[in-house]
């Protein structure tokens, strides 16, 4: 990357709108097919030609009349031909497909296999035996129920979150004023057809793409389409070949800010410019969310283990001489034991809980999995307007009395104030208040001034609010100084003036006030007001003015100059007829009062939030359609370009050398202009993104935003994009997580986003990141907890098959653990507080930091799980021994034990047992094993609370977890002691002492893990950490 | 363009796949060096040895608490089950074909070896009609009441070595499960048949049973049933249900079909 190749770098003048022109020039070098198609489509010239036609031609084309509009019959005909004027919602997956996905995705396939094997086994039994045992049928039904219920649960969770989105769709139908058969009628915007003659006025949303035929001071806000924040005027004349830039076309879904216009509808629905972008956006493919990848990875591991063990033991069983039927039943048991049935539901619930918590903090999550994505975000591409800034022009600085004064720009007016006692200031305030057409809308007296709605353009509103805040009611001021004449702002004069009566009833002079572009104002002034005294404008003052103007302009602020003059009474007596068309009064030799500069100031919470992002290792990139100077000023203001960091241009300016001589590596920050961006190759782009920590992209077009996002993703970053306009939506969709603005955001952007910031505040993203990181940690804990109990579930089966002991734990009891007792504690871990400051560490590396890694498996399966299994087996041996079957005779007893025809099986004490009698003991063992797992899981949930800290450091403040401990114990007791359970689930009451069998093992788990964590903390980076820190 | 970009990636992935098994550069096998494998395996060895020790300790404590003579809990076998000999619930034979019933006869013969009068000679001749209670705590080895094979008379296999199978009137032995402290009273069957001993009564003197260790040579009292089948009963499958009746016995458990009762089928072919 060579700076020489970019002569325009950082140039602040001559920024022409960069919309389609940029797109056309971009060389097509995209690798993915889908992306290429999208890009090509975007690049296509907007197929509107009507702006170049005369009004008559347009009328002819649409068979309409310039006065009468369409006939009702024609309108109806067109409506049938073109369909309603609405954007086609993005293709949604049919509900049944979604449902099936839940029903057959994840572990469900494995469980379905289990269920089918159960039914198969039962069918074989039914065919071969006279009185088949219902066990397999029963288990098959239970498994089916489990799959269906968890499937339904996930489906409804998903449906719920998609419903939230639907609530965002505007339910109130938009209205449009059309003229048909010469009559003005208010109809639903959906019924507008091409050729309709419509009327829009300030405040309306434009219902379709229209060719303007007449306009009165009409200005539209195209920001949602182009990102251009400045309102643009509309008139019937074609001013540009490009339909996006010509003045005589107004676009669907943009807003008319002021004035009125009448036009002919040329495109409706999806054929509008907005519709095209929306369709493109919905066609953009999005990758899987990181958490979805993690869960898939995890499902693969577990499924792999389950299938491997199942098949191994199936073959082993056949070799050991078991019948096919028995081998199949073992297979089912192993599958059921291996699959953490409740885990996916737990993950869904955990994510839902976090999503709810985030919604409380103004982050609305549309897609559950996006909850975590924000946590792994390593780059945030933030839009400027509205997200980083308040989206409200505010007076930031003033220059009067040859001094720059700072105005308070904070949202709550907590900032510093300036000296308001100067006479010059009073003069300046009077000019700004009087020479101003903006006014507060009625009925807002109770609202704070800054919150009030203003009718008028952004600069005038800013002035109005500033004056209202510092000098009291502007309305009263205007009442005291009646306006007698006015020349509105126009682009040739570049000024606005008005003539007023004075406040003093005895003073019959008129006051002329003027504001406008500072250099034009200065040209008309011969004197300057200093400390309330008029003094001649000398060269020194002119230079001071130039310096101030440059300084304020350098801050990215829009500067206006103000001047006034008291018209001499002899020339302009009371009642003088001021002619504003053919100016018959003095407009030069005025008295310069001061400058006021405005900016859309950063939100108060943003600098702090950007700082947090930085300490959390997240790179914040500003991507804006605004001017580089303004962008840079705001970037510096909010810390995206941090203090002391310089761009190449800054270094060049400081060292007074040409930009080309500066080593680009010396500059950490850079501001890149959209026109330069389009000349960059992919490598240069990567180079910029890699080598600069603080980047601002200014004057970017929608596709460039897309390119920036793709560039970051190419470097392995997980990218969050914020934006509000339609122009942002492709980037929002492409990003790993798109964040739309709830207040200012357009519908299309909200549709494309995964998350919506209800308060439009960048700081909310930081909260989201924090929550996302927390849930990732907590999901790890939750999964570690749930997976651990797989070992005590699977080992009974293995020993049953290998050493022929009576089955220690049945399939039904396994389901009771997975779907019963384990659920609440696992979910409660989602409420666990963070162990350390999670905003102080780097974002996780999606390639290295897995949700489930080998260390987690090692701990859960190899260590804690084994201790748990021993606890369960101990309880099992205790029960059998205390009932007469000592461990020594158990090995190999299974053949007789499970033989229905053996009804006098002898135990160690010579007692003889019928089949049913010993089965009751066996089921009591299952119950005891189950209770033992609950007991060891107490310890497990407590150790899973933390990954590094001791429980004594973390405390037991998680109330849900404490509830979970009691809940699982109560549930276990209920399952054991509730009458009828012996029939329903074959669980039997335990003697109280049997509850305590697993206690030593529970204690061992706790001690073992505390010691492990102690070693882990003592030796950071040591062997214990490398092998066991998950 | 896409293909040129994909190729190196593919190569890389194949080599990394091979590397994941054995990486010659770092000497890693399955992602670990020999040293790393050694450490982790050593850890698991020590860890599992420790766990095994812990488990052995708890099991040892468990065994210490157990009584050698009686199981701690006997509430899972409060009532004895009932089984038959020959040990088959489907007795199916041709009375004129000795090969068909030889297995039954052999089974009965071997089962009755312990009841041989010579073996039983050493046992106690207990007073009939009352429980033979030996609650002395000093003498742990309990005496056994004599049950002579000859008491089964026609079904003893002494007079008729074919246990009636050759004549189509087969004998079936009914045996009540040993359960430690149960007292049973009377034994009966709802179907009219010939019982040995007479009336199919089991004497109280054979109870209680003091467990394998204390009551080493204990033999359960038996009841033999001679099924007096007639010509009409041949070639048909007959279901026979036997129930034991007594004051402390249950024979009507819904789920356990062998608790105090037994149902078997018999089919004799001429």
Per residue in B196-238, pLDDT (tens digit) is 877 777 777 888 888 888 888 888 888 888 888 887 788 888 8
Is the Cβ of A921 closer than 8 Å to some Cβ of chain B?
yes
> Is residue B49's pLDDT more than 90?
yes
Active site residue A777: no
Q: Touching check for B63 and chain A: CB below 8 Å? A: yes
On the CB side of A683, how many CA atoms lie within 13 Å of its CA? Answer: 2
DSSP A387: T
Q: Do B55 and A874 touch (CB under 8 A)?
A: yes
Chain B residues lying within 8 Å of A32, measured CB to CB: 2
What confidence tens digit (pLDDT) does each residue in B87-117 have?
Answer: 888 888 888 888 888 888 998 999 888 888 8
* Chain B, window 187-226: residues with a beta carbon less than 8 angstroms from a chain A beta carbon: 209, 211-213, 215, 218
Split into its structural domains, chain B has a count of 2
Range with the poorest average pLDDT among A42-56, A240-254, A771-785: A42-56
Same domain as B191, residue B101: yes
DSSP tag of A989: P
Contacts of A54 (CB under 8 A, 6+ apart): none
- B64 pLDDT higher than 90: yes
For the ranges A66-75, A552-561, A915-924, B28-37, which has the lowest average pLDDT?
B28-37
Chain B residues with CB under 8 Å of A33 CB are: 2
Question: What pLDDT, on the 0 to 100 scale, is given for residue A26?
Answer: 37
DSSP string over B247-266: TT-----SS-TTBSEEEEEE
Question: Looking at the complex, does the CB of residue B1 fall below 8 Å from at least one CB of chain A?
Answer: yes
Identify the residue with better confidence: A379 or A677. Answer: A379
Which residues from B are below 8 Å from A886, CB to CB?
A: 63, 66
List, as one string, the DSSP characters of A278-322. Answer: HHHHHHS--PPPHHHHHHHHHHHHHHHHHHHHHHHHHHHHHHTT-
Same domain, B206 and B109: yes
- Contact residues on chain A for B48, CB-CB shorter than 8 A: 866
Give whichever of A128-137, A468-477, A938-947 has the largest mean pLDDT: A938-947
Domain membership flag for residue B48: yes
- Residue of chain B minimizing CA distance to A907: B212
Give the alpha-carbon dihedral of A854, A860, A861, A866, to 10 degrees. Answer: 150
Checking if the pLDDT of A339 tops 70, the result is yes
Our CA-based measurement puts residue B194 at a distance from the nearest CA of chain A, in whole angstroms, of: 24
For residue range A352-380, list pLDDT tens digits in order.
888 888 888 888 887 777 888 888 899 99
Is there a single domain that holds both residue B183 and residue B254? Answer: yes
- Among B177, B253, B262, whose Cβ lies nearest the Cβ of A912? B177
Within 8 A of B208 by CB-CB distance, chain A residues are none
Which pLDDT belongs to residue A992? 94
Please report the pLDDT score of residue A825 as a whole number.
94
Q: Give the pair of three-digit tokens for residue A980.
A: 């009828």
Closest Cβ–Cβ partner in B58, B89, B178 for A911: B178
Q: Are B51 and B139 contained in the same domain?
A: no
Please tell me the distance in Å from A729's CA to the nearest CA on chain B: 26
Please report the pLDDT score of residue A287 as a whole number: 67
Q: How far is CA A1024 from CA A787, A848, A855, A953, A1020, in A?
A: 21, 18, 10, 20, 9
Coil, helix or strand at residue A1000: helix
Residues B131, B41, single domain; the answer is no
Q: What is the pLDDT of residue B16?
A: 61
Q: What is the pLDDT of residue A348?
A: 80
Q: What is the pLDDT of residue B141?
A: 80
Determine contact: A589 vs chain B, CB below 8 A: no
Distance CA A173, CA A175 (A): 6
- In a domain? residue B9: no
Domain match, B217 and B99 both: yes
- At residue A162 the predicted structure's pLDDT band, cuts being 50, 70 and 90, is low
Q: Sorting pLDDT into bands at 50, 70 and 90, what band is A1?
A: very low
Kindly state whether residues B134 and B243 are assigned to the same domain. Answer: yes
| pLDDT number for residue A139 | 84
Which of B65, B91, B118 is the last residue before a domain boundary?
B65
Report if residue B226 sits inside a domain.
Answer: yes
Chain A residues with CB inside 8 Å of B70's CB?
Answer: 909
Q: Which residue has the higher pLDDT, A649 or A379?
A: A379
Using pLDDT thresholds of 50, 70 and 90, give the confidence band for residue A48: confident
Q: In whole numbers, what is the pLDDT of chain B averaged over residues?
A: 80
> Which domain covers residue B186, as residue numbers?
82-268
Same domain, B34 and B141: no
Q: What is the mean pLDDT of residues A808-833?
A: 90
Do residues B120 and B154 share a domain? yes
Q: Which of A910, A991, A1023 sits opposite B178 (nearest CB)?
A: A910
Answer yes or no: is pLDDT of B245 > 60: yes
Specify whether B60 is located in the same domain as B105.
no
Asked whether A149 and A340 are in contact (CB, 8 A), the reply is no
Q: How far is B31 from chain A (nearest CA, A)?
A: 11
Rounded Cα distance, A875 and A896, in Å = 22
Residues A404-457: tens digit of each pLDDT: 888 877 776 666 667 777 888 888 888 998 988 888 887 777 888 878 888 777
Q: Please state at what angle helix B34-65 crosses helix A999-1018, rounded to 10 degrees.
A: 150
Query: Quick check: is B76 in a domain?
Result: no
Run of H or E residues at A993: none
* Single pTM value for the model: 0.79
Q: Does B16 reside within a domain? A: no
pLDDT tier at A514, thresholds 50, 70, 90: very high
Q: Is B50 on the interface with A (CB under 8 A)?
A: no
Look over chain A and give the mean of its residue pLDDT values, rounded to a whole number.
83
Q: What is the mean pLDDT of residues B157-179?
A: 85
Q: Is residue B151 part of a domain?
A: yes
Q: What CATH number does the domain containing B146 carry?
A: 2.60.40.1660
Q: State mean pLDDT over B159-187.
A: 76
Residues 94-153 of B with CB under 8 A from A: none
Share of chain A above pLDDT 90, in %: 23
Q: Which residues 861-880 in chain A show a CB within 8 A of chain B?
A: 862-863, 866-867, 870, 873-874, 877-878
Which of A257-261, A538-542, A996-1000 is the most confident on average? Answer: A996-1000
Nearest residue on chain A to B180, judged by CA atoms? Answer: A911
Q: What is the pLDDT of residues A613-644, one digit of tens each?
A: 999 999 999 998 888 888 888 898 898 998 88
Choosing among B6, B35, B76, B184, which should be mutated to test the A contact, i.e. which has the most A CBs within 10 A? B76
In B223-252, the residues whose Cβ lies within 8 Å of chain A are none
Residue B239 maps to a domain? yes
pLDDT at residue number A990: 94
ipTM for the predicted complex comes to 0.90
Distances in Å between the alpha carbon of A348 and those of A292, A817, A824? 11, 18, 13
pLDDT given at position A966: 96
Nearest CA in chain A to B69: A909
Name the band, by pLDDT with cuts 50, 70 and 90, for residue A282: low
Whether B190 shows a pLDDT value over 60: the answer reads no
Give yes or no for B48 touching A (CB within 8 A). Answer: yes
> Domain for residue B241, yes or no?
yes
Per-residue pLDDT for B147 more than 70? yes
Specify whether the CB–CB gap between A398 and A405 falls below 8 A.
yes
Query: Above 70 in pLDDT, residue A41?
Result: no
- Whether chain B has a CB inside 8 Å of the CB on A903: the answer is yes
Of B44, B58, B209, the CB nearest to A862: B44
Q: Is the peptide bond before A557 cis (omega within 30 degrees of 0)?
A: no
Residues B172, B242 share a domain: yes
A421/B216 Cα distance (integer angstroms)? 117
For A882-930, what is each residue's pLDDT tens digit?
A: 999 999 999 999 889 988 888 889 999 888 999 999 999 999 999 999 9
**How far apart (Å, rounded) are the C-alpha atoms in residues A933 and A789?**
7
- Distance from B104 to chain A by nearest Cα, in Å? 16
Are A903 and B81 within 8 A, CB to CB? Answer: yes
Residue from A383, A650, A760, A907 carrying the catalytic annotation: A383
Q: Which of A881, A882, A914 sits opposite B259 (nearest CB)?
A: A914
CA-nearest residue to A879 within chain B is: B73
Write out chain B residues lying below 8 Å of A31, CB-based. Answer: 1-2, 5
B109 shares a domain with B44: no
Average the pLDDT over A793-807 and give the result.
91
Name the closest residue on chain A to residue B259, using Cα atoms. A914
């Amino acid at each position: 990357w060579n700076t020489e190749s970019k002569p325009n770098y950082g140039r602040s003048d001559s920024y022409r709108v960069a919309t389609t022109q940029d797109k056309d020039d971009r060389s097509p070098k995209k690798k993915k097919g889908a992306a290429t198609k999208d890009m090509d489509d975007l690049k296509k010239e907007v197929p509107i030609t009507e702006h170049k036609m005369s009004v008559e031609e347009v009328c002819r084309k649409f068979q309409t009349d310039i006065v009468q509009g369409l006939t009702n019959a024609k309108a109806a005909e067109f409506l049938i031909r073109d369909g309603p004027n609405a954007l086609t919602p993005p293709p949604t997956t049919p509900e049944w497909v979604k449902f099936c996905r839940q029903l057959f995705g994840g572990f469900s396939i494995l469980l379905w296999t289990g269920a089918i094997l159960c039914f198969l086994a039962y069918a074989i039994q039914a065919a071969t035996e006279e009185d088949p045992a219902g066990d397999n049928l029963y288990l098959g039904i239970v498994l089916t129920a489990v799959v269906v219920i968890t499937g339904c649960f996930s489906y409804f969770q998903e449906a719920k979150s998609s419903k939230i989105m639907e609530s965002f769709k505007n339910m109130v139908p938009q209205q449009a004023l059309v003229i048909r058969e010469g009559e003005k009628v208010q109809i639903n915007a959906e019924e507008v057809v091409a050729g309709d003659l419509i009327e829009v006025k300030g405040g309306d949303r434009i219902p379709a793409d229209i060719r303007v035929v007449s306009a009165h001071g009409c200005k539209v806000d195209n920001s949602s389409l182009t990102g251009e924040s400045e309102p643009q005027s509309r008139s019937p004349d074609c001013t540009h070949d490009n339909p996006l830039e010509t003045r005589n076309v107004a676009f669907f879904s943009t807003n008319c800010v002021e004035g009125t216009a009448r036009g002919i509808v040329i495109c409706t629905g999806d054929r509008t410019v907005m519709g095209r972008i929306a369709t493109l956006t919905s066609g953009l493919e999005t990758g899987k969310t990181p958490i979805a990848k993690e869960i898939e990875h995890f499902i693969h591991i577990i499924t792999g283990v389950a299938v491997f063990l199942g098949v191994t033991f199936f073959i082993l069983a056949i070799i050991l001489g078991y019948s096919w039927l028995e081998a199949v039943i073992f297979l089912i048991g192993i599958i059921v034991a291996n699959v953490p049935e409740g885990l996916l539901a737990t993950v869904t619930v955990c994510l839902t809980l976090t999503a709810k918590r985030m919604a409380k903090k103004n982050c609305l999550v549309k897609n559950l999995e996006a909850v975590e994505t924000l946590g792994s975000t390593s780059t945030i591409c933030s839009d400027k307007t509205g997200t980083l800034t308040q989206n409200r022009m505010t007076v930031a600085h003033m220059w009067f009395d040859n001094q720059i004064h700072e105005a308070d720009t904070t949202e709550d007016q907590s900032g510093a104030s300036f000296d308001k006692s100067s006479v010059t200031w009073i003069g300046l305030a009077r000019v700004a208040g009087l020479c101003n057409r903006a006014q507060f809308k009625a009925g807002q007296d109770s609202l704070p001034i800054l919150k009030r709605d203003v009718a008028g353009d952004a600069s005038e509103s800013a002035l109005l609010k500033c004056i209202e805040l510092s000098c009291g009611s502007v309305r009263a001021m205007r009442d005291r100084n009646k306006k007698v004449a006015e020349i509105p702002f126009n682009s040739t004069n570049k000024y606005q003036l008005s003539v007023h009566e004075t406040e003093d009833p005895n003073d019959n002079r008129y006051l002329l006030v003027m504001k406008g572009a500072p250099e034009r104002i200065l040209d008309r002034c011969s004197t300057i007001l200093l400390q309330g005294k008029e003094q001649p404008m000398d060269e020194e003052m002119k230079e001071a003015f130039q310096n101030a103007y440059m300084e304020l302009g350098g801050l990215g602020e829009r500067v206006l100059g103000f001047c006034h003059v008291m018209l001499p009474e002899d020339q302009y007596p009371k009642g003088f007829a001021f002619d504003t068309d053919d100016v018959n009064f003095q407009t030069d030799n005025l008295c310069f009062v001061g400058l006021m500069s405005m900016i859309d100031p950063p939100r108060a919470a943003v600098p702090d939030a950007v700082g947090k992002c930085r300490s959390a290792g997240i790179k914040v990139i500003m991507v804006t359609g605004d001017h580089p100077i303004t962008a840079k000023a705001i970037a510096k203001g909010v810390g995206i370009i941090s203090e002391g960091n310089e761009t190449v241009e800054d270094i060049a300016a400081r060292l007074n050398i040409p930009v080309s001589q500066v080593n680009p590596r010396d500059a950490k920050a850079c501001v890149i202009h959209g026109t330069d961006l389009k000349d960059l190759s992919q490598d240069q782009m990567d180079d910029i993104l890699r080598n600069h920590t603080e980047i601002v992209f200014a004057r970017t077009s929608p596709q460039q935003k897309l390119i920036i996002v793709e560039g970051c993703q190419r470097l392995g970053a997980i990218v969050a994009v914020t934006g509000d306009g339609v122009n942002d939506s492709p980037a929002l969709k492409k990003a790993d997580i798109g964040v739309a603005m709830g207040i200012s955001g357009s519908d299309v952007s909200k549709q494309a986003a995964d998350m919506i910031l209800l308060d439009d505040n960048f700081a909310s993203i930081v909260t989201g990141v924090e929550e996302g990181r927390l849930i990732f940690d907590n999901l790890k804990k939750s999964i570690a907890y749930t997976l651990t109990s797989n070992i005590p579930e699977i080992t009974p089966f293995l020993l049953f098959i290998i050493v022929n002991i009576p089955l220690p734990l049945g399939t039904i009891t396994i389901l009771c653990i997975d779907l019963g007792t384990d659920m609440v504690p696992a979910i409660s871990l989602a409420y666990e507080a963070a162990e350390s400051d999670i905003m102080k560490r780097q974002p996780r590396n999606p390639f290295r930091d897995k949700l489930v890694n080998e260390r987690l498996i090692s701990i859960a399966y190899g260590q804690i799980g084994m201790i748990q299994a021993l606890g369960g087996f101990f309880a099992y041996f205790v029960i059998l021994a205390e009932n007469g079957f000592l461990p020594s005779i158990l090995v190999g007893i299974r053949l007789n034990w499970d033989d229905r025809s053996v009804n006098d099986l002898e135990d160690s004490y010579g007692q003889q047992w019928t089949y049913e009698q010993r089965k009751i003991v066996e089921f009591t063992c299952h119950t005891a094993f189950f209770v033992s797992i609950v007991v060891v899981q107490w310890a497990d949930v407590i150790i899973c609370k933390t990954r590094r800290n001791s429980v004594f450091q973390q405390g037991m403040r998680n109330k849900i977890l404490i509830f979970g401990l009691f809940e699982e114990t109560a549930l276990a007791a209920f399952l054991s002691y509730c009458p009828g359970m012996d029939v329903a689930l074959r669980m039997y009451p335990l003697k109280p002492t049997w509850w305590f069998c697993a206690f030593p093992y529970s204690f061992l788990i706790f001690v073992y893990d505390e010691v492990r964590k102690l070693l882990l903390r003592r030796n950071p980076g040591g062997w214990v950490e490398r092998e066991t820190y998950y | 363009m896409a293909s040129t970009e994909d190729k190196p990636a593919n190569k890389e992935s194949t080599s990394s796949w091979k590397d994941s098994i054995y990486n010659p550069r770092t000497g890693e096998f399955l992602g670990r060096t020999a040293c790393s494998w050694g450490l982790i395996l050593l850890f698991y060895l020590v860890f599992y040895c420790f766990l095994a020790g812990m488990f052995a300790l708890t099991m040892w404590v468990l065994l210490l608490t157990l009584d050698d003579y009686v199981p701690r809990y006997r509430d899972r076998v409060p009532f004895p089950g009932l089984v038959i000999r020959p040990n088959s619930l489907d007795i199916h034979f041709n009375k004129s074909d000795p090969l068909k019933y030889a297995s039954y006869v052999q089974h009965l013969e071997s089962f009755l070896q312990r009841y041989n009068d010579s073996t039983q000679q050493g046992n106690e001749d207990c007073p009939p009609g009352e429980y033979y209670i030996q609650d002395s705590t000093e003498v742990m080895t309990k005496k056994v009441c004599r049950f002579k094979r000859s008491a089964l008379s026609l079904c003893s296999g002494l007079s008729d070595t074919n246990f009636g199978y050759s004549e189509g009137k087969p004998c079936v032995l009914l045996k009540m499960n040993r359960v430690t402290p149960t007292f049973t009273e009377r034994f009966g069957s709802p179907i009219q048949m010939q019982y040995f001993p007479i009336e199919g009564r089991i004497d109280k003197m054979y109870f209680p049973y003091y467990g394998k260790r204390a009551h080493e040579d204990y033999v359960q009292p038996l009841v033999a049933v001679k099924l007096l089948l007639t010509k009409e009963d041949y070639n048909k499958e007959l279901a026979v249900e036997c129930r034991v009746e007594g004051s402390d016995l249950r024979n009507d458990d819904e789920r356990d079909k062998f608790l105090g009762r037994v149902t078997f089928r018999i089919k004799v072919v001429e």
